[in-house]
Structure formats: C-alpha cells, structure tokens
Amino acid sequence: MDDVKRLLEGFADRAAEALPDADIEADVTRGRRALRRIKRRRRVTGVLCVAAVSALALAIGNQVKWWGNSTEVAGGGEAETSASSTPATAPAAEPSKGETMSMFGASVVQLVANNQPWHTIDCTLTPKGWTAETPIAANRVVLSQPAMRTADTAAKVVLQAAPQARSLSAVRVTDGSGKTFHIGTLDGRLTGQVKLADQWLLVELPTGTVEWPDDVLRRFMDSCTVN
C-alpha cells in the first residue's frame, strides 16, 4: 500500500503540481481498490484451479474403479450375480450292494445265489440274469441270457472242469481262501482258472466283455466246486 501511495505521490509531484491534495487521495483510493480486485481475482482463480484438479482426479479414479471391477455397471449400481460362481457338482451315485461299475462305465455283473444244480460242476453264486443251458454236460456248463439267440459260445459264459490247467496270456495270480486264482486271456477271451481238489475249473467269459472285473470273477470261481 505504501509503495502505491509513494508512487502516486511522486507522480503527482512531477506531473500534477497544480492539482489539489483531494485528487491525490482519490487516486490512492482508486489504486487500493484496484489492488484488492486483483487479489480477489487471484484467490478465486486459485480456488477454481484446485476444484478443477480435484474433480478431474475424482473422475479418473471412478473410471479406473469401474473398468477394474466387473461386478459394477456403468450406472454405478452392482450387476446381479448368481448365488454361486460355479455350478454345483452332483455327488457321484454309489453302486448298490453287490454291484460296482467297471472302468469303462458299464454295469458290472451282479452275482446272486444259484438254486439250480449243475451236476459235476456246482457253484453257489451265478451271474444275475444268466441260466445254464440244458442239457448240462458232466464236466461243462454253458450260461446264457434268456434273450440270447445265438449258438456261438464266444458270447456266453463257459465253465469246464479239466485235469490239467490251460496256458493263459497276461496272467494275474491272486491267492485267497486257500486257493490260487489265475486270470488272463485264452483265445482272446478273458478267462479265469483255479484248482479245486484234483481238478481245474476253467471259466471263459464272453468275448470283449468289460462287465467282469477280476474281483467279481474270483468271487464267482471261489463259490464253485468240482465233484
């Protein structure tokens, strides 16, 4: 303020010595008013700049948040989501008692009580739905299903008693119940054999079967006797 006053007074002394003191005071007053207006404009400009910067930062922050969060929509609300992000997995159905599933997904043969006498070869268990074809030979039993209309024994279960064991391919040997079970392949058919007393029991399964896992075949042979 003093600098403005001295400036105006010096100017008045040099250029307006004939002017009265009232004019000098008026000029000082106008100068002070102009200075105040300049300061006010600077303050307003500074406030506006700060507000503009803050608004810009807020807008950028909201935009980044929107792009980074897939659960929000453009209107600011949250998108609807399902109760679970992944579909519930139904528990695998367990096989019923006495029946399992093969490694290929086919139903495994279920063994049931056998009430039919088979003469020399006799088994207390039999595959469900399979019956012995008649007439039954002394040392041979052929099992088939009622709907089976073929004479090809390769599609049937054949039990045979013999004094000697047969040579099997890819043999798997398992001991149990005081017996030794041999399971392998004979002429392309899954086959099991076990020695019962002084005879060997040979069980040939249908060609290409996947319904007779080793444990079921062992149970079936273990239920048999050769008289």
Count of C-beta atoms within a 10 Å radius of residue 111: 19
Report the mean per-residue pLDDT for the chain: 76
User: Per-residue pLDDT averaged across 13-37, rounded?
Assistant: 65
What's the average model confidence in pLDDT over 113-136?
93
pLDDT at 79 over 60: no
In the chain, the percentage of residues whose pLDDT exceeds 90 is 45
Q: What is the pLDDT of residue 159?
A: 98
4-8, 12-16, 95-99: least confidently modelled range:
95-99
pLDDT at 8: 59
Region 15-26: mean pLDDT is 58
pLDDT above 70 coverage of the chain, percent: 60
Lowest mean pLDDT among 54-58, 128-132, 168-172: 54-58
Would you state the pLDDT for residue 70?
A: 44
Q: Pick the residue with more confidence: 204 or 46?
A: 204
The confidence score (pLDDT) of residue 30 equals 77
C-beta pairs of 182-191 under 8 Å, 24+ apart in sequence: 183/214, 183/217, 183/218, 189/154, 190/217, 191/166
Band the pLDDT of 19: cuts 50, 70, 90.
low
Whole-angstrom distance between the N-terminal and C-terminal Cα of the chain?
A: 135
Asked if 18 and 24 touch (Cβ cutoff 8 Å), the reply is: no
pLDDT band at 40 (very low <50, low <70, confident <90, very high): confident
Confidence of residue 47 (pLDDT cuts 50, 70, 90): low
The answer, yes or no, to whether the previous bond of 117 is cis (omega within 30 of 0) is no
Rounded to two decimals, the pTM is 0.54
- Predicted confidence (pLDDT) per residue in 86-119, tens digit: 445 444 444 444 444 444 456 899 999 999 889 8
Assess whether pLDDT exceeds 90 at residue 125. Answer: yes
Q: What is the 3-state secondary structure (H, E, C) of the chain?
A: CHHHHHHHHHHHHHHCCCCCHHHHHHHHHHHHHHHHHHHHHHHHHHHHHHHHHHHHHHHHHHHHHHHHCCCECCCCCECCCCCCCCCCCCCCCCCCCCCCECCCCCECCCEEECCCCCCCEEECEEECCCEECCCCCCCEEEEECCCCCCCCHHHCEEEEEECCCCCCEEEEEEEECCEEEEEEEECCEEEEEEEECCEEEEEECCCCCCCCCHHHHHHHHHCEEEC
Question: What pLDDT, in 10s, does the model give residues 141-197?
Answer: 999 998 877 788 899 999 999 999 999 999 999 999 999 999 999 999 999 999 998
Instruction: Check residue 148 and give its pLDDT.
Output: 78
Please state, in angstroms and rounded to a whole number, the distance separating the CA atoms of residues 71 and 79: 5
Between CA 135 and CA 96 the distance in angstroms is 34
Question: Residue with structure tokens 């807008």?
Answer: 59
